[in-house]
Amino acid sequence: MTETRTRSAVLFDFGGVLTTSVVAAFEELGAELSAEPRLLLRLLSKDEESAALLVAHEEGRIGERQFEDGFAARLRAHGVAIEGPGLVDRLQGKLRQDPESIALVAKVRADGHRVGLLSNSLGDNCYAGFDLPAMFDAVTVSGEIGVRKPSRRAYEIACERLGARPEDTVMVDDLRQNIAAAERLGIAGVVHLDAATTAAELARLLAPTPGA
């Protein structure tokens, strides 16, 4: 993008931005469960039943246990001997907080910009250890609003809650498809690789605030 210093608000993703890589966590668990590290990711993206379970869970239409049992059944159909209970906890146990990204959220907010969270939820306790209301001006979670990224409506709701127009907002997300969807709405996008790179991109995109 060619624009510079025009935006005033930032939406941050959760998993893979405020935490270590979700993709890496899925691959690590996949390696533990089978000889194919990318099996879980492949099923959730390519297997129709698995993908439908994930969408239903992220949109709050089924709970953690129903997702676990359904996904475990799909894994068993592909040769993995596993039961559902604890599957999500095993995945979440492989995610760690990213202190540099958490500090970046605080800095952007301290600099006078509004900051919000827009997250596709996975599991009943995926935000444990994070005081989200204290970190953000607005929190939007897919399981609570009934719609998930990359749906246009998810971004609209997040901007409404943040009190910012899409054209005044930046979205930080580790998944390129989520950034592409945000940009179609007029939101500027930053594909998150690490806190330092994202900080540099935000410095380019965010407008100066009084006193800055």
The secondary structure of 94-108 as a DSSP string is T--B-HHHHHHHHHH
> Can you tell me the mean pLDDT for 35-55?
95
Q: Are 11 and 116 in contact (CB under 8 A)?
A: yes
pLDDT level of residue 3 (50, 70, 90 thresholds): low
CA 81 to chain centre: 29
- pLDDT score of 1: 46
What is d(CA 138, CA 209) in angstroms, rounded to the nearest whole number? 20
Would you state the CATH architecture of domain 9-20+96-205?
Answer: 3-Layer(aba) Sandwich (3.40)
pLDDT level of residue 2 (50, 70, 90 thresholds): low
Q: Are 188 and 91 in contact (CB under 8 A)?
A: no
Query: Which neighbouring-strand residues pair with 144?
Result: none
- Predicted TM-score of the model (pTM): 0.94
pLDDT level of residue 50 (50, 70, 90 thresholds): very high
- pLDDT score of 4: 76
| 87-117 pLDDT per residue, tens | 999 999 999 999 999 999 999 999 999 999 9
Task: Give the list of residues 6+ apart from residue 13 with CB closer than 8 angstroms, or none.
Answer: 117, 118, 119, 149, 171, 172, 173, 174, 175, 178, 192
- pLDDT score of 209: 81
Q: Which of 28, 80, 25 is nearest to 50 (CA)?
A: 80
Residues of the chain with CATH 3.40.50.1000: 9-20+96-205
Q: Which DSSP helix (H) or strand (E) runs through 170? A: strand 169-173
Mean of the per-residue pLDDT values of the chain = 95
pLDDT level of residue 172 (50, 70, 90 thresholds): very high
> Can you tell me the mean pLDDT for 12-41?
95
| 119-166 pLDDT per residue, tens | 999 999 999 999 999 999 999 999 999 999 999 999 999 999 999 999
CA 51 to chain centre: 17
